[in-house]
Each structure stands twice: as C-alpha cells, then as structure tokens.
Amino acid sequence: MSKKGQEIFIWLLIVIGLGAIVLGMYAAVAKPAVVIGDLVIPVSSADWRKGNENAKVTLVEYSDFQCPACKYYYGIVKELEKEKGDAVQMVYRHFPLQQHAFAKTAAIATEAAGKQGKFWEMHDILFDRQEEWSVSENIQQSIVEYATLIGLDIPKFISDVQSVDLASRVERAITEGGTQGIQGTPTFFINGTQVRFQSYEELKQLVEDELNK
C-alpha cells in the first residue's frame, strides 16, 4: 500500500473507531432502567401520608431532599396535589443517598418537624430551598432557620433533631428502601406498582388511568 493509501486507511480507522465508541455509549445509555417490581412494604400509619386515606389512588415516593431530580419531581407532584386534591393520597419515604452530605440531616429535620405536626411544611421548604442549604457552611443553622420560618417550637425541634430515635427512624427507612430494591431517587409507585414519568402530563395520565379502573 502506498504511503498515501496507508494514511487514508488510518483516518478511516479513526472515523470508524470514534463512531463505534459513540454508538456503544448510546447503546449503554439508552437501555431501559432496571425494573424493581411492586411495592413490598405496604402503606401504613407508620408512613408520612398526605391527603385522603381512602383515596382510590396512592402515590408512594422514595426520595432524597438533596437530590436535584427529586426537587424537579417535587414540582410535578405538587401540581398533581393541586389538581386532584383528595382523589390522591401522597406518601413520602426517605431514601437519602450516600453522596448527598446533608440528605440524612434533612430527613431527620422533617421527622423532627413531623413531631410537631409539620412534616410536610418542612418537606416543602427543604425542596424549595434545596440550592441554598445543599451548599451551606452550617447545615444546622439553615435547618433551624427553616424551622423558625414554618413556626416550630425551636427548643423542642433542636432536641428532637439530636435524638437517637429520629436518626434510627431514618436509618430504618434506608434499610427498608434497600429491601424494596431502590437504586435511585425518586422512585414512584402508584397503588403498589412502580411507575415512570417525566412530566406532569404523564403523571396525570397514569393517575387518571388508575382512577378510571
């Protein structure tokens, strides 16, 4: 082969090689996510629930307050709450991921707020201000600030946040999430079946299908 021919051959190899890498990565990313099956632990009074307990549709979410994707889905779920109201019951289950430094602290803060009947208020403010406290220099201070904003009894809140009880409650939730096979957040279940959606419209459709059953 001439020198020129050789050069052309090498360039061809490079184009094919890089193209193969692109296709390979496409195949790796495009494969559907793992299906983890139906809800193992049934919804009970031990869960954080919101809405009508006898609703025809129950939406269970495994979530992490510091996860950006969870914040995105928080907006979608809020919209559902507004539109469907009592027709849907919401359930929140903690699954703070290891890589999120303050996710556990945030989960404990919602538990402490829950002791004063304000779990959902803390849940909302944590998602609303995720960008702020996620990079906080003093997470305890941020959380106490939010507790003040939602009108909690601060001395009680502080002592609850430090209690072993609540920390072990969150740890238990993580173990249970593991049992469920949760690999990422958020993971949703409608009436016990795992569902996926990316927009409010898709979620609404899933809920309506269930309501019409």
Partner 1 sequence: MDTSKNNTIIVWTILALSVAGFTDAVYLAMKRIIGSPINCFAFSGCDTVAQSTYSAIFGIPLSLLGAIFYAVTIILITYYLQRRTKKGLQRVLAMAILGGVFALYLFALQAFVIKAWCLYCVISDTIGVVTALLAIYLWRKEK
Site string for partner 1, 139-168 (x = CB under 8 A): ------------------------------
Site string for partner 1, 94-133 (x = CB under 8 A): ---xxxxx--------------------------------
Site string for partner 1, 70-89 (x = CB under 8 A): x-x-----------------
* Alpha carbon 175 to its chain's center: 16
Where would I find the H helices in 101-183? 103-114, 119-128, 130-134, 139-149, 154-161, 164-180
**Span near partner 1 by CB under 8 A; candidates 49-57, 77-85, 121-129, 192-200:** 192-200
Q: Which of 1, 30, 35, 164 binds partner 1 (CB under 8 A)?
A: 30
**Cis link prior to 186 (omega < 30° from 0)?**
yes
- E strands within 83-177? 88-94
Residue 156 in tokens: 């009680």
- Of 51 and 177, nearer to partner 1 (C-beta) is 177
**Span near partner 1 by CB under 8 A; candidates 80-88, 142-150, 153-161, 191-199:** 191-199
Closest CA to 59 of 28, 88, 17: 88
26 sits near partner 1 (criterion: CB under 8 A): yes
Give just the sign of the alpha carbon dihedral 168, 171, 175, 181. Answer: positive
Three-state DSSP class for 167? Answer: helix
Residues between 32 and 51 that touch partner 1 (CB under 8 A)? 33
